């Protein structure tokens, strides 16, 4: 009789939670499901150290969500517009007001560029900061916490967030984005644990996959110009990629989606300060379903559905590609 590793690991998780003082770490589940896929830094930066999750600590989160470090780095990630974190769900209907557009002009940040410019020598104005932010909860803990607009009062109370506060609005906006209908041709899911991300990826791409992310050896002090170096390389196959965008939430939540019009590239960059960055660029070959008032169309002076549009992913986002 053959015993599958997944069933063995599942049994061990039950035993650990039921009899010992340790909750099974997400790392163990990753290794059991994706033994040949190394974790990128964007994932390892969001994991608590081994042994952090005791049964008692997990129960505290499930009961009240207080004093267990799940809100550490709550407002990490993104590029600021009007003192708000700019959402990296690029197809989401982003309708900007005049002050936001003017602020973007002053920042001169390269949020989007055309695919025809994805080659050696193109100059991009970027800033890379360490935005690891809130960390992952184990799946059994995350599943015990409501994640629904119908449970908003419960969610805010659990994390001691005051109704009407900036933090409350961030929570509501994140859940709203997660509950919104996807665009045509998109398969999406907001995942609340690393285990759920692995499950979603395997269900769409199988287990012969690789997780990649932008990696920066040293963070620059501010906005600077980067030049695309030699070695731009397309990753994965068409229709076989999943992009997971880090959301702003008290614990790690990702908006993962698979679309038929997504291409992924490894793009080396060299800064004027000599800093080398291994970035991941995502190009959308069909933007016909995007909102006509999307910032990308304003920045690039193009119309929806006319040309492929690309962007560099921040460090805390993850792309899955088929090998």
Q: What is the pLDDT of residues 83-140, one digit of tens each?
A: 334 444 444 444 445 545 544 554 577 889 999 999 999 999 998 876 667 899 999 8
Q: Is residue 105 part of a domain?
A: yes
Helices (H), the chain: 5-19, 26-33, 41-44, 55-63, 98-107, 139-142, 152-158, 166-179, 194-205, 295-300
User: What is the extent of the structural domain holding 245?
Assistant: 5-61+87-322
Q: 286: which residues sit within 8 A by CB, 6+ positions away?
A: 185, 260, 261, 305
Q: Is residue 224 part of a domain?
A: yes
Q: Is residue 67 part of a domain?
A: no
**Domain count for the chain:** 1
Q: Is residue 305 part of a domain?
A: yes
User: What's the start-to-end Cα distance of the chain, in Å?
Assistant: 30
The pTM assigned to this predicted structure is 0.82
67 vs 210: which has the higher pLDDT: 210
Residue 133: the pLDDT is 73
52 vs 255: which has the higher pLDDT: 255
66 vs 257: which has the higher pLDDT: 257
**Does pLDDT of 81 surpass 60?**
no
- Percentage of the residues of the chain whose pLDDT score is greater than 70: 73
Q: Is residue 82 part of a domain?
A: no
The Cα 135–Cα 8 span in angstroms is 26
Q: Is residue 280 part of a domain?
A: yes
Residue 239: the pLDDT is 67
The length of the chain in residues reads: 323
The Cα 19–Cα 26 span in angstroms is 18
Q: Is residue 76 part of a domain?
A: no
Q: Is residue 72 part of a domain?
A: no
Rounded to 5 degrees, φ, ψ at 243 are: -110, 130
């Amino acid at each position: 009789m053959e015993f599958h590793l997944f069933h063995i690991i599942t049994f061990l998780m039950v035993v650990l939670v039921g009899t010992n003082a340790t909750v099974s770490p997400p790392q163990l589940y990753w290794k059991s499901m994706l033994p040949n896929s190394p974790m990128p830094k964007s994932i390892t930066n969001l994991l608590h150290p081994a042994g952090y999750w005791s049964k008692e600590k997990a129960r505290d989160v499930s009961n009240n969500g207080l004093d267990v470090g799940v809100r550490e780095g709550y407002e990490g990630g993104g590029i600021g517009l009007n003192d708000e974190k700019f959402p990296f769900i690029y197809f989401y209907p982003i309708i900007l007001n005049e002050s936001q557009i003017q602020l973007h002009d002053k920042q001169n940040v390269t949020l989007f560029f055309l695919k025809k410019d994805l080659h050696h020598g193109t100059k991009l104005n970027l800033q890379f900061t360490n935005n690891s932010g809130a960390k992952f909860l184990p799946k059994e803990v995350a599943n015990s916490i409501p994640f629904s607009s119908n449970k908003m009062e419960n969610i805010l109370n659990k994390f001691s967030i005051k109704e009407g506060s900036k933090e409350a609005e961030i929570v509501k906006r994140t859940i709203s984005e997660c509950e919104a209908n996807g665009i045509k041709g998109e398969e999406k899911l907001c995942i609340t644990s690393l285990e759920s991300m692995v499950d979603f990826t395997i269900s769409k791409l199988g287990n012969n996959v690789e997780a990649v992310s932008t990696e920066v050896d040293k963070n620059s002090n501010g906005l600077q110009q980067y030049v695309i170096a030699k070695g731009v390389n397309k990753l994965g196959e068409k229709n076989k990629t999943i992009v997971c965008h880090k959301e702003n939430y008290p614990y790690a939540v990702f908006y993962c989606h698979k679309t038929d019009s997504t291409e992924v590239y490894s793009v080396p960059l060299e800064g004027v300060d000599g800093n080398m960055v291994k970035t991941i660029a995502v190009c959308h070959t069909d933007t016909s379903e995007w909102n006509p008032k999307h910032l990308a169309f304003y920045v690039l002076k193009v119309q929806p559905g006319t040309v492929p549009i690309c962007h560099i992913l921040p460090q805390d986002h993850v792309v899955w590609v088929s090998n």
